[in-house]
Amino acid sequence: MFHSVRIAPLCVAVLLASAFSGCGGKESADKPASQVAVKVNKQEISVHQVNDLLGRGGAIPPDQLKDATAAAVERLINQELLVQQAKEHKLDRDPRVMQMIEFSRREILARAYAEQFASATPRPSEAQIQAFYDENPALFAKRRIYSLQEINITASPEQFEDVRARLQSGGNLQQLMDWLKEKGVQFAANSAIKAAEQLPGELLKSIAALNPGQAFATRTPTGAVLVFVVGARDEPVDRGRAKPAIENYLLGQARNEKRAEELKRLRESAAVEYVGEFTPPQSAAAAAPGAAQDQQAAPPAAKEESKEDAIRSAIEQGAAKLR
């Protein structure tokens, strides 16, 4: 298993220097590395621009660095050609383009401050990591890989009650499907193998309480979903292996809370005056001090609603390493 690494600017500079310098003797070795990666109609694209584009892609395996760098350079060349044409056609002076540029500038500045403010958040303590590990056994100590059968049913509320009663009466999956056909209930069946961290929080709680052969039903706007646990195997994750994912999740959660608190403070101390038709309804105005302007500064209530998704996302990113 390879280890992904973030790209150091020096590594990219060396790689680009070797790629674009051609044959090098003593004379080229004595020259400082150029900060220019490529020129497009005499317009320079710098190594810093290449570094920035590569950095936006996250961790890149060392054996893929050369290809990733070449692809980044080609992308920047294409971008520069289009930018030159846009300027030649004076699109940089088009009112709509100028508005988009200004909007992007404001977004970048707002995000930069939010990130800078949140960057001072301390990393979670060992006690916090241990508590999170202990509070989520289905994701770690009692983690399982589930073989599931899902039946999506289109049914009225009355039919749903009949389906639930039939489910509680016992029987296997095939018997239930035969019963649905006899009753003329429309359904579609799907099967999947899912690790615990790949399941939505509420679904995982329900499934973790079941044994193979058991099922549960939940209402949907159009009917119901029946989930059968066909099989399950234990694949626990010890605290040491789970620690990086837990630490990243807790740190992200703490930073989100810090951003939300700062935004709330700024709104409460600001003179915000709505004009005319833009005055919000009473309910919206009451919630405004705690309202967030983007996902980075979601209010506590919004974060609570997506907590399970956030946990699942954080754990799933490291799932390949945990297994």
Res. 197: pLDDT tops 80: yes
In terms of phi and psi (left: phi > 0; alpha: psi -120 to 50; beta: otherwise), the region of 176 is: alpha
Tokens of 307: 């907590």
Residue 3 lies in a domain: no
Domain region containing 308: 94-140+238-323
231-285 confidence digits (pLDDT tens): 999 999 999 999 999 999 999 999 999 999 999 999 999 999 999 888 888 766 5
Cβ burial of 246 (10 Å; 0-12, 13-18, 19+) is: buried
- 159 and 222 belong to one structural domain: yes
Selection from 71, 28, 69, 63 nearest residue 51 by Cα: 69
How confident is the model over 71-94, as a mean pLDDT?
Answer: 95
* pLDDT value of residue 39: 95
Higher pLDDT, 111 or 217: 111
The answer to the question of residue 1 being in a domain is no
Same domain membership, residue 112 and residue 129: yes
Q: Are residues 107 and 159 in the same domain?
A: no
Sheet holding 186-195, edge to edge: 186-195, 144-154, 223-234, 215-220
Asked if residue 183 is part of any domain, the answer here is yes
The span from the first CA to the last CA of the chain, in angstroms, equals 12
Is residue 162 assigned to a domain? yes
What's the number of domains the chain is made of?
3
CB-CB neighbours of 252 under 10 Å: 15
Domain end call among 186, 213, 234: 234
Domain boundary among 234, 264, 294: 234
Clarify whether residues 163 and 309 are in a common domain: no
pTM: 0.62
Q: Are residues 260 and 131 in the same domain?
A: yes
Residues 224 and 262 in one domain: no
CATH number of the CATH domain containing 166? 3.10.50
254 and 291 both lie in a single domain: yes
Are 149 and 229 found together in one domain? yes
Q: Which residues are CB-contacts of 124 (< 8 A; sequence separation ≥ 6)?
A: 132, 246, 247, 250, 251, 254
299 falls within a domain? yes
Last residue within a domain, chosen from 55, 89, 123: 89
Contact 80, 37 (CB under 8 A): no
106 and 225, same structural domain?
Answer: no
Residues 186 and 215 in one domain: yes
Asked whether residue 58 falls in the same domain as residue 117, the answer is no
Least confident window among 71-75, 105-109, 301-305: 301-305
195 part of a folded domain: yes
Q: Is the pLDDT of residue 176 over 90?
A: no
- Any domain includes 4: no
Q: What is the pLDDT of residues 111-167, one digit of tens each?
A: 999 999 999 999 999 999 999 999 999 999 999 999 999 889 888 877 888 888 888
Say whether pLDDT at 34 is over 90: no
Same domain, 222 and 282: no
CA distance 132 to 243: 10
Residue 2 lies in a domain: no
- pLDDT confidence of 9, banded at 50, 70, 90? very low
